[in-house]
Amino acid sequence: MQAAGIRIGRIMRPYLVGSILIGLVSLAFNHYLVPMADKVIYEFEEEYIRNTKKTSDSDVHIRLSPTQYVYCMKFDLSRNSGQHFTEEKLEGTQLREKIFAENIQYIDSTDTWKLISVTIRTNNGLVEKIERKDTLIRKYNLKPKDFTEDIQRKAMMTSPELYTKTNVEQSRGLENVNAYGYELHRRSADSFAGIILTIIAVAIATRKIRGGSGLHLAIGIVISAFFLLFMQFAKTFSINSGLSPLLAAWIPNIIFSFIAYGLYLWRSK
């Protein structure tokens, strides 16, 4: 094609149109159809094959409001009960009330929580008061499943569900909230990545180089491997180091967009 003098833009056009159409279809699949299919498969395997449904968790911190936090050292979803529960209420930077309970039990009929062996510490700034009770009934904006949320289920949520879940968990101060945000933005970024990689592939494949198609294939594999490596690094930094999920999901696309543009210019010569 190079020898025939065909312009790169003319060669690229049908491939680019095709990749855009595929990208649009993959958007629908990534945001809706794939999560729905994953949910069916995951629940079937969980119920009949692995039998590993998550029923307990430990060291769970949840923010119920900007001034109210709860902690449970261990929670058993099968019994709707937990051990070593703590509730803290803040006023500015001051701790005004702290409730500690040896055990906690969810009462489904009244949507309340029963605290057992309770110690209540209140502080008005000058005087600290300690009160002990055998039981205490409390109502929280909290369900038993909130203590054992399986973050792996994020892949089974449609994007509107994932967006809502991200906002809810962010308001509660969930430590792994970036995992939800990254999953949401990754679905769009993956669809756009196909367009970028198509430009790179056409720019390489339509240029005659020593080594022929074998070298073309080798270059393509190396570029794809680096792209996947960048994706994994970005995901890790987002989840573990606080990098913005939006930026993390799109960093590989941004970097490889420059590579695609450079290859396009190289092919145009």
Pair (157, 227) in one structural domain? yes
* 44: number of Cβ within 10 Å: 11
Check whether 120 has a pLDDT greater than 90. yes
What are the phi and psi torsion angles at 57 (to 5°)?
-155, 165
Check whether 73 has a pLDDT greater than 50. yes
Q: Which of 75, 87, 84 is nearest to 139 (CA)?
A: 87
Pair (22, 68) in one structural domain? no
Pair (141, 187) in one structural domain? no
Classify residue 218: in a domain, yes or no.
yes
The rounded Cα 159 to chain-centroid distance in angstroms is 11
Pair (261, 160) in one structural domain? yes
Check whether 269 has a pLDDT greater than 80. no
% residues pLDDT > 70 (the chain): 88
Alpha carbon distance 254, 127 (integer Å): 57
Work out the pLDDT band at 186, boundaries 50, 70, 90. very high
pLDDT of residue 52: 55
Alpha carbon distance 19, 192 (integer Å): 9
Classify residue 176: in a domain, yes or no.
yes
Burial status of residue 228 (CB atoms within 10 A of its CB: 0-12, 13-18, 19 or more): exposed
Pair (130, 162) in one structural domain? no
Classify residue 44: in a domain, yes or no.
no
The C-alpha angle with vertex 152 and arms to 181 and 22, in degrees rounded to 5, equals 60
Work out the pLDDT band at 56, boundaries 50, 70, 90. low
Classify residue 35: in a domain, yes or no.
yes
Alpha carbon distance 45, 123 (integer Å): 50
Pair (135, 232) in one structural domain? no
- Strand order of the sheet with strand 81-91? 56-65, 68-76, 81-91, 94-107, 112-123, 128-138
Classify residue 156: in a domain, yes or no.
yes
Check whether 211 has a pLDDT greater than 60. no
Alpha carbon distance 56, 82 (integer Å): 9
The domain boundary residue, chosen from 148, 178, 196: 148
Classify residue 51: in a domain, yes or no.
no
Q: Which tens digit of pLDDT belongs to each residue from 247-260?
A: 999 999 999 999 99
Cβ contacts of residue 215 below 8 Å, gap of 6+? Answer: 209
Classify residue 130: in a domain, yes or no.
yes
Q: Which domain holds residue 83?
A: 56-148
pLDDT of residue 3: 44
For the ranges 41-50, 92-101, 120-129, the lowest mean pLDDT is seen at 41-50
Work out the pLDDT band at 93, boundaries 50, 70, 90. confident
Work out the pLDDT band at 104, boundaries 50, 70, 90. very high
How many structural domains are present in the chain? Answer: 2
Pair (102, 79) in one structural domain? yes
Q: Both tokens of residue 116?
A: 């057992």
pLDDT of residue 174: 66
CA dihedral sign of residues 221, 227, 231, 237: positive
Q: Both tokens of residue 208?
A: 């005659």
Pair (166, 250) in one structural domain? yes
Side chain identity at 175, as an amino acid letter?
A: E
Mean per-residue pLDDT, 113-135: 91
Mean per-residue pLDDT, 9-23: 89
Pair (163, 62) in one structural domain? no
Pair (32, 92) in one structural domain? no
Q: What is the dihedral of CA 123, 124, 125, 126, to 10 degrees?
A: -90
Work out the pLDDT band at 53, boundaries 50, 70, 90. low
Q: Which tens digit of pLDDT belongs to each residue from 222-240?
A: 888 899 898 989 988 887 7
Give the residue, 116 or 48, on which the prediction is more confident: 116
pLDDT of residue 103: 96
Q: Is the pTM of this model over 0.85?
A: no
Classify residue 45: in a domain, yes or no.
no
Q: Which of 130, 117, 140 is nearest to 69 (CA)?
A: 140
The domain boundary residue, chosen from 105, 125, 148: 148
Cβ(204)–Cβ(263) below 8 Å: yes
The domain boundary residue, chosen from 96, 113, 148: 148
The rounded Cα 103 to chain-centroid distance in angstroms is 31
Check whether 122 has a pLDDT greater than 70. yes
Residues forming a β-bridge with 28: none
Cβ(99)–Cβ(118) below 8 Å: yes
Pair (96, 23) in one structural domain? no
Pair (67, 113) in one structural domain? yes
